[in-house]
Amino acid sequence: MKLTILGCYAATPRTLTNPTSQVLEVKNHMFLIDCGEGTQVQLRKHGIKFSRISHIFISHLHGDHFFGLPGLVSTFRLLGREKELHIYGPKGIKEAITMLLKLGDSWTNYPLCFHELTSVDSQVIFEDAKVIVQTIPLDHRVYTNGFLFREKERERTLNIEAVRYYEIDKAYFNTIKKGKDIVTEIGEIIPNRELTFDPPKPTSYAFCSDTAYHPSIVPLIKEVDCLYHEATFLESEVHLAKKTKHATAKEAAEIAKQASVGKLILGHYSTRYSSLELFRKEASVVFEPVELADDGKSFHIG
């Protein structure tokens, strides 16, 4: 997986910072996660092809997470898009987008498919042969979901020396890679573990923004390779975090520690602070390793 941060700051856009938006590349998919203002410009700035985006996941209907979406939908039309665009987000997102299209008499010339979410329990919202995506219910001022992206387990890898030793015909290779034992002509059973190696561990990524400290998500994100968790405030402003239902860097680290994740990425910073290193310093006391998101920064996961 490759994660590219297009924007990771809270509330309003500024000349040097952008609100939340990121792109996750996995198994030939280009998933767009949230779409704050300026997302189109950031996509162009970082050379990401609009045509590769077919699935957009919106966490909640606060402006800094989806006000860039109407413009992106419109630009797809201007670029002559023909293939489907799937948008996953809270109930109301279809009404918000289609109202703007209606008022501007600018209906898309491509299929626009909305998948509105209402469940307060985790649910699978996308699945194909290689990837599965499910929601992570969060605790914010409005209905909000994070998203968990997981590769499906790959086929086992052939032990070429072993299959040659047992003189197994190539016709059985696919069966072996799927985990099946082999029965020889004389009835001998050759266990699959002797013929294959374990596949690489499937890679996983959890996106959690915006939310108050919410330990109930821990079982859902247990041992993910990488967790992006909002850290709007430092502990010195924990009273503001509680009031606005956001999290501090320390609280994000507590979630990462409880879930035993591989790596924590902090983001959604309030712009009141002079240095992002303050967030890393606070979180690192509780959990390591900690990375800091920043606009234009990429991370390789797995």
Residues carrying an active site annotation:
64
For residue 121, say whether it is annotated as part of any ligand binding site: no
- Cβ neighbors of 51 (< 8 A, separation 6 or more) are 79, 81
For residue 115, say whether it is annotated as part of any ligand binding site: no
Q: How far apart are CA 292 and CA 281, in angstroms?
A: 10
Helix (H, G, I), strand (E, B) or coil at 62: coil
Tokens of 30: 């280009």
DSSP E strands, 118-225? 124-127, 131-137, 145-151, 157-158, 182-183, 189-190, 196-197, 204-208
For residue 105, say whether it is annotated as part of any ligand binding site: no
Backbone dihedral angles phi then psi of residue 257, each to the nearest 5 degrees: -65, -45
For residue 268, say whether it is annotated as part of any ligand binding site: yes
Q: What angle do CA 146, 294, 32 make, to 5 degrees?
A: 40
Q: How far apart are CA 181 and CA 202, in angstroms?
A: 23
For residue 198, say whether it is annotated as part of any ligand binding site: no
* 224 within 8 A of 260, measured Cβ to Cβ: no
For residue 214, say whether it is annotated as part of any ligand binding site: no
For residue 246, say whether it is annotated as part of any ligand binding site: no
- Residue ranges of the annotated binding site for Zn(2+) are 60, 62, 64-65, 140, 210, 268
- Residue ranges of the annotated binding site are 60, 62, 64-65, 140, 210, 268
